[in-house]
Amino acid sequence: MTPSIETYPWDAADFLETQEDIRAYLEAAFEFGDPELVIAALEDIARSKGMASLIESGLEDKNLSINWPCNGKPELAAVLHLLKVLGLRLHVTPVASLCS
């Protein structure tokens, strides 16, 4: 008889507790180089901060708004704005092998 394996749902948002957690998680997504993974990571981060509505219906706060398209492919302006709302900033560093 094969033993049964019990599984449980896992959500990255449940483990993004500190700014360092969030930074490392998003940095890893960028390093992997898959735009869809970066978007998924941003969605996880928003949910971890209780901001799931940012992704689902957009943010309407004073003069700020984010329109996250239904197709899951936001424009760069929306991504940058979401980063700002989440208290994050995009930082670019040169890759050592390309700068030699």
What integer pLDDT is reported at residue 100 of this predicted model? Answer: 55
For residue range 17-68, what is the model confidence (pLDDT) as tens digits? 998 999 999 999 999 988 889 888 988 998 898 876 555 545 544 334 455 5
Query: How would DSSP label each residue in 76-96?
Result: HHHHHHHHHHTT--------H
Cα pseudo-dihedral 21, 27, 25, 90, rounded to 10: 70
Name the pTM for this structure.
0.69
The span from the CA of 57 to the CA of 7, in Å, is 31
Amino acid at the residue 64: L
What integer pLDDT is reported at residue 65 of this predicted model? Answer: 44
